[in-house]
Amino acid sequence: MNDVLTSSPPAAGPGWTARARRTRPAARDWQRIALVAAALIVLFMGFVLPLALLAPQSLNDGDGFSPAAYAKFFTHHLYLDIIVSTAKIAGWTAVLSVLVGYPYALWVNRLGPRMRVIAVIAVVLPFWVSILVRTYSWTIVLGKQGLVNEALAKIGLIDQPLELLYTDTGVLIGTVNILAPFFILPMIATMRAIDNRLVLAARSLGATPFQAFWRVYFPMTVPTLVSSAFLVFVLGFGFYVTPAILGGGRVQMLATLLAYLVNTSPDWALAAAISVLLLATTALVGIVSKLVRKDS
């Protein structure tokens, strides 16, 4: 009897251990599946479903099914002018972001560790400030009595203040300021991952500095350059805050047109049609970006 009370419980055999190992991963797998399913439900309800409802709304003109909103958008000269204006500003935003951002990223990559951190912080720091504050600050810089006009007048380059505010130029300056970091940061990360010994090897084989850069270094940055430029273009194509403030209602873009159609002249079918077209443009640009990146 005492032997029974004092004896330790039998050790778990190999069969019990195997069953426990099979049970624990299975439980963890179900937890992962539940978390992913919850995230997908939230994504579907908050993003996919509202977008899916746009298509029927764009085909409902109040009297039933009709593609009249799309026909109106593509045939009215006012809307065609807005498409051209939006594409022009978004395209120039992407081009200027490349022209400014690529040399900056190249310069950052050649700095020492401390200075590189400071240079990256200079790009990231504006994200900590509200986009409204950053945009309104440009009204002070670009106004007729702003810093730019005063500086140009003092050095004798202009006699009359330049019209920078409420013009395409002012909107373009503000848009590049807001969206250029979306190009610069991926380029810095890509350039940091490139092995500089490849450039040194090209130099040792007789290549000039420009040849080593153009034939060895630059091709390795092209995929990121293309995808980041497309990203800036897409963001600029649907940008609202900066064009609305710096454009002052004179520079019309698709996003400001949408705000007008929804808030001032409620034309839900046309607004939904424009939203569907913007979504399709974004998807098309994303596909082209992927194909270009794969070919590169």
Look at the chain and report how many structural domains it folds into: 2
User: Span 12-37, mean pLDDT?
Assistant: 65
User: Span 62-84, mean pLDDT?
Assistant: 81
| Nearest-angstrom CA–CA distance, 273 and 54 | 7
Nearest to 110 by CA among 19, 4, 194, 23: 194
Question: What is the predicted pLDDT for the residue at 15?
Answer: 52
At 49, the amino acid letter reads: L
**Is 6 inside a domain boundary?**
no
Residues facing residue 65 across a β-bridge: 60
| Nearest-angstrom CA–CA distance, 268 and 281 | 20
CB 186 within 8 A of CB 222: no
Question: What is the predicted pLDDT for the residue at 64?
Answer: 67
Q: 14 pLDDT band (50/70/90 cuts)?
A: low
291 and 186 in a common domain = yes
Q: 282 pLDDT band (50/70/90 cuts)?
A: confident
- As a whole-number percent, the residues of the chain with pLDDT over 70 amount to 88
104 and 28 in a common domain = no
Question: What is the predicted pLDDT for the residue at 22?
Answer: 52
Question: What is the predicted pLDDT for the residue at 5?
Answer: 47
Question: What is the predicted pLDDT for the residue at 128?
Answer: 87
User: Span 162-183, mean pLDDT?
Assistant: 91
Render pLDDT for 134-152 as a digit per residue (tens, 0 to 9). 888 898 888 888 888 888 8
Tokens of residue 110, six digits: 């050649």
| Nearest-angstrom CA–CA distance, 175 and 187 | 19
**Is 195 inside a domain boundary?**
yes
pLDDT tops 50 at residue 118: yes
| Nearest-angstrom CA–CA distance, 103 and 172 | 20
Domain that residue 32 falls in: 13-58
**Is 199 inside a domain boundary?**
yes
Q: 294 pLDDT band (50/70/90 cuts)?
A: low
| Nearest-angstrom CA–CA distance, 144 and 152 | 11
pTM for the complete prediction?
A: 0.78
**Is 169 inside a domain boundary?**
yes
